[in-house]
Amino acid sequence: MLAELDRTLAALADPTRRAVVDLLRRGPRRPSEVAATLHTSRPMMSRHLGVLRAAGLVEQAFIDEDARGRLIRLRPEPLAELRGWIAEVEAFWGDQLTSFKLHAESKPRRRVRGR
C-alpha cells in the first residue's frame, strides 16, 4: 500500500497535476480540453496525464463516435487509499494528544518552597 500511496503523493505534488484532478472532479474531459482549460501545451499535458495514469489516478476511455478521441476520467481508488491513510495518521495524533492531555491534567503540580 505504501508504494501506491507514494505514487499518488508524488503525482499530486505538482500543481498542474492537482489542477487536472480538480478539473476532472467535475467530469471526464478530452486531453485537449484539459490542456486548453489549464493553458498548457498538449505535449506538456500529455506528460502530466502520463504521470497521473502511472499513479492510477486517471484512466482514459475511447469515444465510440471518434476512433481517435479519448476521455480522461478520475479513478477513485487511489484517492480513497489516500483518505484512509490520512484518517489513520489523524487518529494516531488525536489519540496521542488526548493521552498527553489526560496525563498533564492528572499530575498534581508541586510548588517549590521558598520562592
**Confidence (pLDDT) at 68:** 72
Sequential pLDDT tens for the chain (115 residues): 678 889 999 999 999 999 999 999 999 999 999 999 999 999 999 999 999 999 999 999 887 776 678 899 999 999 888 888 888 888 877 766 777 777 777 766 676 676 5
**Confidence (pLDDT) at 69:** 81
Closest CA to 4 of 59, 74, 57, 58: 57
Within 13 Å, how many C-alpha atoms sit on residue 34's CB side?
Answer: 31
What residues contact 9, with CB distance under 8 A and at least 6 apart?
Answer: 82
**Confidence (pLDDT) at 107:** 66
- What's the CATH architecture for 2-75? Orthogonal Bundle (1.10)
- The structural domains of the chain, with segments of one domain joined by +, span 2-75
What pTM did the predictor assign? 0.72
AA letter at 33:
E
